Structures are given as structure tokens and as C-alpha cells.
Amino acid sequence: MKATILHNPRCSKSREALAILHGANAEVTVIDYLKQPPTRDELTRLYAVAGINPRDALRKDAPAVADDAAALDLMVRDPRTIERPLVETDKGVRLGRPPSAIRAIL
């Protein structure tokens, strides 16, 4: 199984999700999204597949935004505002909060 994770190595939840993927013997592509930020189109696609509104995918300490378009603009401008980890497999996309949530797509 192949998996892609938008990962922050300093985040314990992100490290936990990565360990779950390795434990499932997934072939993992790790994207350090702070160094390689996703595009607006990629975030839009990922959240649509996950069934998540972009505003719900902002970190809790991110500035308040008026709508989903503003949330995406903020995430592209400042990737630190993206809630992590975000994991994609052939079975879908999940926000790993809690990390065990990604088991549904393994």
C-alpha cells in the first residue's frame, strides 16, 4: 500500500501517524509541508476527498477566517496554519487527529 503524509517532524501527532503507517508496512512518501507547501489546488482536492471543510482543517491557534476560501488562502500563505498530519492512501484522505483516525484508510 502507498501512502502520502503531509508531515511536520516536530509534531508528536504527525510522528505518531508516520509510525502507524510504517507499522502497516505502507510505502510512505513523506512531505515536510513546511519546506514543500502544498498548493491551494492540492489542499482543495485533499479536503474534498476527506470531506473536510478547509476552515475545520486550520490549526486551532490560526487566525479566524471568514470562509473556506480565506482558510485556503491563509494555509497557502502560511503553511504553519495547516492542521497535521494529513494522510492520503488509495482508500481516501484523513486528518490524523487523533493519529489513529488514519487506520480507516489503511
Residue burial 16-25, b: 16+ Cβ < 10 Å; e: rest: bbbebbeeee
Q: Which of 6, 11, 57, 79 is catalytic?
A: 11
Cell digits of residue 21 = 503507517
Q: Report DSSP state, residue 58.
A: B
DSSP helix/strand/coil, 92: strand
11 catalytic residue (yes or no): yes
Closest-CA residue to 88 (of 52, 36, 35, 40) = 52
Q: How far apart are CA 70 and CA 54, in angstroms?
A: 9
* Catalytic residue positions, numbered: 11
